Amino acid sequence: MGLLTNLKDSISRVTDGLFAADEPKRIGIYGPPNAGKTTLANRIARDWTGDAVGPESHIPHETRRARRKENVEIERNGRKVTIDIVDTPGVTTKVDYKEFLDHDMEKDDAVRRSREATEGVAEAMHWLREDVDGVIYVLDSSTDPFTQVNTMLIGIIESQDLPALILANKTDLPGSDVQQIANAFPQHETIPLSALEGDNMDEVYTKIAEYFG
Amino acid sequence: MPGPTPNVDGDASPDDSDDGGVRIDMISGARMEGLTGMEKIRLILDGVRDGNIVILEEGLSPDEESKLIEVTMTEISPDDFTGIEIETYPKAETNDQSFLDKLMGRKSAQKLTVIGPANRIETLHKDENLISTLVSRK
């Protein structure tokens, strides 16, 4: 029974892809907190629409709701791809309001922020299972990529058969090590960039058109 | 067939860990086999919220892991439960999947998994052969 259901799902996925080829693809930007997801979302949105997606901050969990920027048209080598960018909260398995107190926050604000953060992460997981057509997975290339959250998230994305582009962000930082990310996820292509400085965005757009077009 | 009871060891008292010790529940694959995804998550989270360390012989599927994160987030509350720490061995590039499994996208979930309360368990070292964790009594 499970075999038939899986086969039906596989066929359905292929036919959905064929008939929905002209509709914008919803591309979720995922990754751990503070990887630079919103900076990247803003960079893409500003480059192609002139608008931003949301505020950026060095404080973890600045993005506490999934935010969507619709109909972003990216043209690359004569090829046009239309995507909806979904900027998601950083995924984690734990949120402690006390960590926000280190950022000069009052307890009430810290508790509210942590509550919103937990709701945002739950929402992001739901989006991943139900509502995205592809994933841009953003990692801070100056930190260790061998974390459980990264391992689980990449496993979840692979189990959904979603096209996934791995971006090694923050190459402008002194401790950046792109190769470490490539070693952590050898089954995927890793593209280096600095979303903050706009470095290597040409290649990022080429790959977005290639993966999600 | 095992039932979805949250108390893994029916003979154990819930106060077992109150004497300063740390309770570890090692749950076999057979024990988890008959449970639905939500029952597995409930079993894990109820144990972890009691302060226990839960070790799964065969781990969770990616979909179950996704739901575990989602449910964990909904249960976090200030000064009570700050979430979970979870560790499994990194995914190995194995060839243990059958052709049909690969064709249908089924992935093996057989990986030992350690889950504990985020405020009591800290990973010291992890590689493809070893998970070293520090568990505090609190």
- Sorted by sequence, the CB contacts under 8 Å of residue B97 that are 6+ apart come out as B106, B107, B108
| Min distance B136 CA to chain A CA atoms (Å) | 17
Beta strands in chain A (DSSP E): 25-30, 67-76, 79-87, 134-140, 164-169, 190-192
> DSSP label at B54?
E
Alpha helix segments (H runs only) across A147-200: 148-159, 178-184
pTM above 0.90, yes or no: no
> Which B residues, 31 through 60, put their C-beta within 8 Å of a C-beta on chain A?
none
**Of B133, B126, B125, the residue nearest B84 (C-alpha):** B133
pLDDT greater at residue B42 or residue B98: B42
- Asked if A151 has any chain B CB less than 8 Å from its own CB, the reply is yes
- The more confident residue out of B34 and A4 is B34
A181 touches chain B (CB under 8 A): no
Q: Do B78 and A97 touch (CB under 8 A)?
A: yes
Reference B54, options B85, B81, B78; nearest CA is: B85
Walk across the sheet containing B113-117 and list its strands.
B24-27, B53-56, B113-117, B84-88
Q: What tokens appear for A139 in the block?
A: 């990692």
What's residue A77's pLDDT?
Answer: 83
| Arithmetic mean of pLDDT, B65-85 | 94
Question: Is B73 close to A128, i.e. CB distance below 8 A?
Answer: no
213 residues of chain A, pLDDT tens digit each? 455 556 555 555 555 544 455 688 999 999 999 999 999 999 999 999 988 887 777 777 777 788 889 999 999 888 889 999 999 999 999 999 988 888 888 899 999 988 999 999 999 999 899 889 999 999 999 999 989 999 999 999 999 999 999 999 999 999 999 999 999 999 999 999 999 999 999 999 999 999 998
Which residues, including other chains, have CB under 8 Å from residue A198's CB and lie 6 or more apart? Answer: A43
Instruction: Say whether B65 and A119 touch across the interface (CB within 8 A).
Output: no
Within 13 Å and on the Cβ side, how many CA atoms surround B63? Answer: 12
pLDDT at A11: 57
Q: Which two tokens stand for residue B57?
A: 């012989």
Give Cβ neighbours of residue A4 (< 8 Å, ≥ 6 apart): none
